[in-house]
Each structure stands twice: as structure tokens, then as C-alpha cells.
């Protein structure tokens, strides 16, 4: 996709607002030197084979409208804007550089992670049991464990008075 060769020119290929035309550097050496001088690129290593200049840098007198040949007898030719053979870019040859605010393009720092060695964020079985023991400890240092979604629970529901199963801090069953 072509871009304008003039330094700091904001013109790029079609952005949706206005479709711009881009013109190649001329093949004639004398005219090419005039273009390079006008673009302030004389003496620099320039690959003019691929360089383009947009229509914004030419005066209106540098263009001529020509009709193309019709492709079919039923269709009319198109009106095309052509650059005159002796035209040299002369408008807006010094474009101001667009300075962006540093805040708009600076990456935001990522939040720092706190690393715990040997920890994954998921509590271990032992930590879960210890937390239950701390929450359900009675004054006699016994633990009441409630049974959920197990065969024992269905048996307990059949009884009128559910039995409590007691465990000590070492998790051994007390009869």
C-alpha cells in the first residue's frame, strides 16, 4: 500500500474520508532531480522506483482530466485525473510532525503478582480439614463433622434423630 514520500505527511492509503491518488517519481532524470529537490531529498539515498507522492503536494494546475476509452460500446469511459508531464510537487512540502501525548501510547504496567513458594492458590486437603476443625471445635475439644451428599447422609436422614459423629483433633473416631 502506498504512502506519501514527503517527510511527516499524514496521508496514507484510503482511510474512508477521501480517496487520494499517489504519483510515481518521473523516469526522466532532470524532472526526477527537480522532484527530489522539491521533496528535500536531493543527495540522500532514495529508491525512487517505489517512492510515491500524494496529490496534496501538487497545485490544481498540475492536473488535467482525461476520459478513458470505453471498455464496451454500451458503457461510457471514465473521467480520470492525470498529472501533467512537467508537474513538480510544490504544496505542503514541510509537514509538521504530529506529536502524540506520551500517555496515549505508553503501555500500562501490569500489576505485580505476589508469589508464594510451593502454593497454587487452591487449599490442600489438610488446610481444609484444619479450617473445619477450627470452626467446629466444641468446648471439649471435639469436632462435629457434617456429612453432605454421601451414602451416610441418606442413612442419617432415615433416622429420626441424626447421630453426631465426633472426631478429636487427630481425626480418629471416638465411640
DSSP 46-70: --TTT-EEEGGGS-GGGEEEEEPPP
Look up the domain containing 151 and give its range: 125-167
Is 105 part of any domain? no
Is 9 part of any domain? no
Non-local (6+) Cβ contacts of 26 within 8 A are 32, 35, 85
Question: 45, 46, 38: which is closest to 92 by C-alpha?
Answer: 38
Choosing from 97, 113, 139, the residue where a domain stops is 97
**Is the domain of 93 the same as that of 129?**
no
- Give 3-14 pLDDT, tens digit per residue: 777 777 777 655
Location of C-alpha cell 466444641: 138
**Is the domain of 93 the same as that of 132?**
no
- Give 69-114 pLDDT, tens digit per residue: 888 888 888 888 888 888 888 776 666 666 655 666 667 777 777 6
**Is the domain of 75 the same as that of 35?**
yes
- Give 109-146 pLDDT, tens digit per residue: 777 776 666 666 777 778 888 887 777 665 455 545 55
Total number of domains in the chain:
2
pLDDT at 61: 86
pLDDT at 175: 47
pLDDT at 95: 61
Non-local (6+) Cβ contacts of 127 within 8 A are none
pLDDT at 3: 75
Task: Provide the mean pLDDT of the chain.
Answer: 70
Task: Look at residue 160 and tell me whether its pLDDT is greater than 50.
Answer: no
Is 30 part of any domain? yes
Is 106 part of any domain? no
Q: pTM value?
A: 0.48
Amino acid at each position: 500500500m502506498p504512502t506519501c514520500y514527503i517527510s511527516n505527511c499524514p496521508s496514507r492509503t484510503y482511510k474512508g474520508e477521501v480517496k487520494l491518488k499517489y504519483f510515481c517519481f518521473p523516469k526522466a532524470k532532470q524532472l526526477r532531480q527537480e522532484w527530489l529537490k522539491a521533496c528535500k531529498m536531493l543527495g540522500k539515498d532514495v529508491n525512487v522506483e517505489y517512492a510515491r507522492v500524494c496529490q496534496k503536494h501538487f497545485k490544481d494546475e498540475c492536473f488535467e482530466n482525461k476520459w478513458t476509452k470505453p471498455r464496451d460500446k454500451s458503457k461510457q469511459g471514465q473521467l480520470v485525473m492525470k498529472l501533467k508531464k512537467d508537474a513538480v510537487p510544490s504544496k505542503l512540502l514541510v509537514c509538521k510532525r504530529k506529536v502524540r501525548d506520551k500517555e496515549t501510547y505508553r503501555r500500562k504496567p501490569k500489576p505485580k503478582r505476589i508469589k508464594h513458594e510451593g502454593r497454587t492458590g487452591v487449599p490442600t486437603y489438610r488446610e481444609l480439614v484444619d479450617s473445619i476443625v477450627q470452626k467446629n471445635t466444641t468446648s471439649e475439644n471435639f469436632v462435629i463433622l457434617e456429612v453432605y451428599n454421601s451414602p451416610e447422609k441418606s442413612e442419617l436422614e432415615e433416622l429420626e434423630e441424626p447421630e453426631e459423629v465426633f472426631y478429636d483433633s487427630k481425626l480418629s473416631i471416638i465411640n
